[in-house]
Amino acid sequence: MTPILSICIPTLNRAHLLKSMLFQLARVVEGYLDRVEIVIADNASIDETKKVVESCPLPIQYGCQKETVGFTKNVLFATTELARGEFIWIVGDDDLIVPSALKHIFDSLARAPDVSYHYLNFGWINIAKRDEIIYGQSGYPNETQLNKLQFNETSWQLLDKIELLTQLPSDNISASFSGIFCFICRRQLFIREQITLNPTDSLDGSSTNMSDCFPHAMLTLAPLAGEPIAYVAEPCLLQGINGWEWGGYAYKNMILGTYQLFRWLQSTAFDQNALEILWKSYYSMAGRLFARMQHEPDQHKGAELILKEAIPYSTSHPQFWDSLITEMKMLINIDNDVEALASWLRQELTHHPQAKLGLWGVAGRGTKLFRKHPNFLRNLIWITDKNELEHGLPFLQSGQSISQPESQRGMDIDILLIGTRSEFVIDVENHVCSISPSLTTISVNGIKRHKHNNTAIHKASKTEYNETQKN
């Protein structure tokens, strides 16, 4: 029997991620195997990938390349040679399919049977958190793990044409067509349109060819221009982040690849008003990401490539400069706050070298402080953040995991570093000092000594506190 949907998973030397993916998938496809097939395209892996596939209880259509052929060619191998379904869904071996996804997908297929493209709303998940969910008791992501979605529209819709997707509320609409995992489409589109691609064998993430970055977009957007699509509002997938071997090139790929894609779309029948919306979103994204690339060049590679084409084009648009300046101001403020925190903490540890440290807030300031000054890690015994998505994740090289704020009870902390913006400091201090009143807190607002019951760290006088704040 021909399946309706082929879930296609291209993979290369990531057996550990694939194993978790298949474990979760076994629960997701339960009750749907009469309509769904699992396709794995192995790009000539030399690790345990084949053994992982063979040990999986699911029926799998497995194919292995004789040699590594590059991402695009392996995707085409999965979709045009291995898959048999009427529709295809390409997902990464590091992604997490929401257990209710297939229900939403087949409901959409039933409501719009003639539609060739069904866009799936999605969220993000840290790779380090992924296995905790997969191997948990239920394997179901909770609401806090789905709180950041691509689109804010929560109702299923039949759109008269694909271009109307650009009018749905989104923080970054330019990303809507860039994700390979966020839609299902008729497999025939990949078979029919693959001639438009010109893929290379680039493997290091530094590709300058949009056929390598966004082959799925090139195969679907042009032929579907002006055609109706379905929008599946319920989140169907959590995209894995922080798991890319080519992560250092991620910003370059988004800036250059998306630029090339939109320029190419201008030569097709794709609606120009929709493209204008996409371009405005793109300029904002490009400015933000370029600022980060310039600020931390060691972490983000490929600046020389985007400076040849994409960035010069973007600089004539005010959205680019607004986004660039806003992002740079924020990054500079974080750097200044980090150095202030480091100076105050160094002062405290000079007098109390054995002081036990806690950290509240790992986003931005908190992480950057300990990354730039790793010598402070030896005193760190407790880390927390209000973001539940961070709980349980390891914190840098500290040997500690990020805890819930409530875990502070019973912790013998001498100094609490508050790695948040100044407007949130008072709220944090009120919370932690109601539990542990004998704390010294160091924040972007300075050093503040609270009521102490021990003598390890002295109580500051009003004069001393004022002088500290001046410095």
Q: What three-state secondary structure class fits 318?
A: helix
**Architecture in CATH of 337-470:** 3-Layer(aba) Sandwich (3.40)
Residue 156: count of CB within 10 angstroms of its CB: 17
CATH number listed for the domain at residues 5-245: 3.90.550.10
How much is the pLDDT for 456?
39
Residues 6+ apart with CB under 8 A from 297: 303
Q: Is the dihedral of CA 255, 258, 259, 260 positive or negative?
A: positive
Task: Report the half-sphere exposure of 60 (CA within 13 A, side-chain side).
Answer: 26
Q: Which helix (H) or strand (E) holds 191?
A: helix 187-193
Q: Could you list the beta-strand ranges (E) of 161-262.
A: 183-186, 229-241
Given a contact cutoff of 8 angstroms between Cβ atoms, the answer to whether 240 and 125 are in contact is yes
How much is the pLDDT for 216?
94
How much is the pLDDT for 166?
95
Q: What three-state secondary structure class fits 464?
A: helix
Given a contact cutoff of 8 angstroms between Cβ atoms, the answer to whether 72 and 197 are in contact is yes
- pTM of the shown model: 0.86
Whose CA is closest to 126, among 389, 371, 395? 389
How much is the pLDDT for 394?
87
How much is the pLDDT for 313?
96
Question: What are the residue boundaries of the structural domains of the chain, listed by start?
Answer: 5-245, 337-470
Cross-strand bridge partners of residue 358 = 382, 416
Distance CA 129, CA 145 (A): 10
* Amino acid symbol at 229: I
pLDDT mean values, one per 10 residues, the chain (471 residues):
94 93 91 95 95 94 93 94 97 90 96 97 82 71 69 94 95 89 96 91 72 91 96 91 75 92 94 96 96 92 92 96 96 93 92 92 91 93 86 86 84 88 83 77 85 43 43 43
Encoded tokens for 194? 């693959």
